[in-house]
Amino acid sequence: MEESVTTKVLLPVALAVIMLGLGLSLQLADFKRVLAYPRAVAIGLACQMLILPFACLGIAHAFELPPVLAVGLMLLAASPGGATANLFSHLAKGDVALNITLTAVNSVLSLVTLPLIVNLSLDHFMASEKTIPLQLTKIVQVVALVLVPVCIGMMIRAKKPLQADRMDRPVRLVSAVFLVFVIIASLIKERANLGSYFEQVGLAAIAFNLTSMGVGYLVPRLARVEPRQAVAIGMEIGIHNGTLAITIASSSALLDNSTMAIPAAVYSVIMFFTAGAFGYFAAKRAG
């Protein structure tokens, strides 16, 4: 399979399938839950949209990441959570309804915040290399690839809930396959530099992962949010949608830079272990 086919066709299709799957799990009621948990939702969004990008920026500088990997880490920071966060939250006895609400709201806000953060990151880290930021046409492509499938999924859920339930499992399976495929494709393309990349970004990815979960749990607790909701926010903030970040980085229709996908690929492996440990202790504490 030629690389051009992978980047120009399969990756956009992968992103569309992933976002369709997210839409199948969302309803308008999920957005209305913001009214039921206004404080917890506001704190969760503040952690995701304000604290996390600055924390990621500090980590990128502290570990002296090469510019392209620093932008890749910032792209990951700008990516919302997803179904995996909901699953881990459930296992950790967190407030899954809050997770669903945060996922829904984050997914919509990221249509604006993700291109914005990536633009600023490209300008900050790679201006000397004259890298062109995401242009308006690129932003429109992101919106089309992300928003349209989500809306289609939500329409199916609203009009044909039984059909949405039947589609949910296969779409999740296909999304998981795409995740493995995209990670492997990115690693194969960069195989000559893998050792160097892991050496350069591995510790930074671990630090960012632990920081994400720490911010997601400790900030709400300091704000006196109840433990179950703090666990939910911790999972939502700590488990980023690595597939989305990898696809945006690798697709020729978007950033077209497979090296930028490396931080998300490394993070996607790490987060399962840290989220599992966090979930274990959270569930044990909850009794």
Q: What is the pLDDT of residues 235-260, one digit of tens each?
A: 888 888 777 788 778 776 677 777 88
Task: Record the pTM.
Answer: 0.70
Contacts of 216 (CB under 8 A, 6+ apart): 44, 47, 230, 233, 234, 235, 236, 237, 238
**Domain segments of the chain as ranges:** 3-286
pLDDT at 125: 87
Is the predicted pLDDT of residue 71 greater than 80, yes or no?
yes
Q: What is the pLDDT of residues 72-86, one digit of tens each?
A: 999 988 887 766 777
pLDDT at 211: 93
The pLDDT confidence band at residue 133, using thresholds 50, 70 and 90, is very low
Contacts of 183 (CB under 8 A, 6+ apart): 246, 265, 268
Is the predicted pLDDT of residue 39 greater than 80, yes or no?
yes
pLDDT at 185: 66
CATH number of the 3-286 domain: 1.20.1530.20
Contacts of 285 (CB under 8 A, 6+ apart): 227
Q: In this structure, are residues 236 and 101 in contact, taking their beta carbons and an 8 Å threshold?
A: no
